[in-house]
């Protein structure tokens, strides 16, 4: 940007959360003046580099129930399922080819230790009268995943996959057409805590009545938010196109798959017949900056390749065509947290997607839009807003403790993968790790 401008709402961060928020504000109030400020290009953060799993919050129902009553937990889980349909409808309405495919999700066990990891979640669903998961036989799981390393699993049909960068690009285009001004390559340096807030950014400043912080893991640099999240690495490798090999092994249904490790493996096929295989490697850095390790980390790539070969040993000759990483904004219970910065009434945040933000960011957009517009509705008053969450320790304890616990989890899961009993000290230390993609049992 160059010079100064004014806005009703300034959204900082041009990922899924920021763009859904801006779009929702424009939908509710078409005449509003909305700007998006993005340090990179839209999608340059996690939104353009993720695994493309569009998931619901059903695997987090027990975590939701830990701070919501039954009605609110079911409302949020059902809304997250509806969000998947809304993303499909959005793509159809705006002719966005984001490779949307709704073929469901297989939550599997690939070691004895992982067997039944879903039991508490499935029971919690039953207790609230929902049945999103179907239990499959071991044979069926091995057949559908194309690998007998999968010993058991459940299936959730609502889940979809997208090409995430194509979705962000499409959303950006719709936002521009709706009159939202997007300033890319515009890093926000500071914002004042007043009304209006003055936002100082590269090249200029914005005076905005309301501000939305949608900066994902980068929010760790904001003092009031720094202890709510810890930025952790997630890494992805993508094979060359292998459509015939997928046919051979039998993974042809387009299901997305995860195992039940805390350092979760997540994998899916792409439209051109590749496998995108990711791992929440959990690598962390000292302090709040999102350094190079969050774009590419050799150790994380090696861990991801190792788990890929363990999962699909018959594909050991397949070439890995691409590898990259990105930052995850992990909260303690792996659900996001929304609120308004203390001492302000107009600076709102929505962070902590914890590796499941592609689908739920749609809900985040509704929550943040309602907060920014000062609307009292089912979104701004839902229990994710202003909730008390367990916080991470300050530095240097976060880095030292986090590294110790991460190493213990890696050793524990590595031994389990080899069919060995993990060491007691690693099991004990691993208990201090935050929750993963699914409910922590």
Ligand X SMILES: Cc1cc2nc3c(=O)[nH]c(=O)nc-3n(C[C@H](O)[C@H](O)[C@H](O)COP(=O)(O)OP(=O)(O)OC[C@H]3O[C@@H](n4cnc5c(N)ncnc54)[C@H](O)[C@@H]3O)c2cc1C
Q: Which residues bind ligand X (CB under 6 A)?
A: 12-18, 37-40, 44-47, 49-53, 55, 187-188, 214-216, 218, 234, 236, 266, 278, 325-328, 353, 355-359, 361
Compute the least distance from the CB of residue 81 to ligand X, in Å. 13
Judged by beta carbon, residue 355 or residue 434, the one nearer ligand X is 355
Residue with tokens 């879903």: 118
CA nearest neighbour of 67 among 391, 388, 439, 421: 388
Compute the least distance from the CB of residue 189 to ligand X, in Å. 7
Compute the least distance from the CB of residue 1 to ligand X, in Å. 11
Compute the least distance from the CB of residue 133 to ligand X, in Å. 18
Judged by beta carbon, residue 53 or residue 133, the one nearer ligand X is 53
Compute the least distance from the CB of residue 363 to ligand X, in Å. 12
- 180 and 107 in contact (C-beta within 8 Å)? no
Judged by beta carbon, residue 74 or residue 325, the one nearer ligand X is 325
Tell me the CA distances in angstroms from 320 to 58, 82, 303, 441, one per residue in order.
32, 35, 14, 34
Rounded CA-CA distance 226/273 in Å is: 40
CA nearest neighbour of 46 among 351, 269, 361, 325: 325
Judged by beta carbon, residue 51 or residue 146, the one nearer ligand X is 51
Judged by beta carbon, residue 339 or residue 359, the one nearer ligand X is 359
Compute the least distance from the CB of residue 415 to ligand X, in Å. 25
Compute the least distance from the CB of residue 362 to ligand X, in Å. 11
Tell me the CA distances in angstroms from 162 to 54, 121, 341, one per residue in order.
7, 25, 33
Judged by beta carbon, residue 140 or residue 184, the one nearer ligand X is 184
Tell me the CA distances in angstroms from 100 to 88, 164, 266, 336, one per residue in order.
7, 9, 17, 24
Tell me the two tokens of residue 100.
Answer: 């949307």
Judged by beta carbon, residue 142 or residue 225, the one nearer ligand X is 225
Judged by beta carbon, residue 56 or residue 147, the one nearer ligand X is 56
Judged by beta carbon, residue 113 or residue 257, the one nearer ligand X is 257
Compute the least distance from the CB of residue 62 to ligand X, in Å. 19
Residue with tokens 């940007």: 1
CA nearest neighbour of 273 among 238, 235, 307: 238
Q: Is 367 helix (H, G, I), strand (E, B) or coil?
A: helix
Judged by beta carbon, residue 104 or residue 327, the one nearer ligand X is 327
Compute the least distance from the CB of residue 185 to ligand X, in Å. 9
Q: Is 230 helix (H, G, I), strand (E, B) or coil?
A: strand
Compute the least distance from the CB of residue 259 to ligand X, in Å. 14
Annotate 55-95 with three-state secondary structure.
CCCHHHHHHHHCCCCHHHHHHHHHHHHHHHHHHHHHHHHCC
Distance from chain centroid for Cα 399: 22
Rounded CA-CA distance 259/416 in Å is: 13
| Sign of the torsion formed by the C-alpha atoms of 410, 411, 413 and 414 | positive
- 138 and 334 in contact (C-beta within 8 Å)? no
């Amino acid at each position: 940007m160059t010079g100064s401008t004014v806005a009703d709402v300034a959204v900082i961060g041009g990922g899924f959360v920021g763009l859904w928020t801006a779009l929702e504000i424009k939908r509710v109030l078409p005449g509003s003046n909305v700007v998006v400020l993005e340090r990179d290009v839209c999608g340059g953060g996690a939104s353009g580099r993720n695994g493309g799993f569009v998931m619901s919050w059903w695997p987090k129902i027990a975590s939701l129930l830990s701070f919501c009553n039954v009605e609110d937990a079911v409302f949020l889980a059902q809304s997250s399922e509806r969000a998947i349909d809304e993303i499909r409808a959005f793509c159809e309405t705006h002719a966005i080819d984001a490779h949307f495919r709704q073929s469901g999700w297989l939550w599997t066990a690939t070691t004895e230790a992982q067997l039944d990891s879903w039991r508490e979640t499935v029971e919690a669903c039953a207790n609230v009268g929902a049945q999103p998961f179907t239990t499959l036989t071991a044979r069926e799981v091995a057949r559908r995943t194309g690998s007998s390393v999968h010993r058991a699993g459940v299936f959730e049909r609502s889940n979809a996959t997208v090409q995430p960068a194509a979705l962000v690009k499409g959303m950006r285009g719709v936002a521009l057409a709706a009159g939202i001004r997007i300033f890319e390559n515009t890093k926000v340096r500071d914002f004042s805590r007043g009304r209006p807030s003055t936002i100082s950014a590269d090249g200029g400043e914005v005076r905005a009545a309301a501000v939305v912080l949608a900066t994902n893991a980068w929010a760790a640099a904001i003092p009031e938010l720094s202890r709510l999240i810890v930025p952790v690495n997630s890494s992805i490798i993508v094979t060359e196109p292998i459509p015939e090999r997928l046919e051979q092994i039998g993974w042809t249904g387009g299901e997305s798959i995860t195992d039940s490790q805390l350092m979760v493996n997540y994998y899916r096929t792409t439209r051109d017949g590749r496998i995108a295989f990711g791992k929440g490697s959990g690598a962390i850095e000292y302090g709040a900056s999102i350094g190079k390790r969050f774009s590419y980390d050799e150790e994380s790539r090696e861990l991801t390749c190792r788990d890929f070969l363990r999962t699909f040993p018959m594909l050991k000759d397949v070439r890995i065509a691409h590898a990259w990483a990105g930052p995850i904004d992990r909260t303690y219970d792996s659900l996001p947290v929304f609120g308004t910065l203390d001492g302000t009434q107009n600076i709102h945040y929505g962070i902590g997607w914890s590796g499941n933000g592609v689908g739920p960011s749609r809900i985040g957009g509704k929550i943040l839009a309602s907060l920014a517009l000062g609307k009292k509705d089912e979104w701004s008053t839902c229990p994710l807003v202003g909730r008390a969450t367990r916080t991470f320790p300050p530095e240097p304890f976060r880095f030292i403790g986090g590294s110790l616990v991460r190493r213990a989890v890696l050793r524990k899961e590595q031994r389990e993968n080899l069919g060995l009993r993990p060491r007691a000290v690693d099991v004990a230390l691993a208990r201090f790790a935050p929750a993963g993609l699914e409910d922590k049992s």
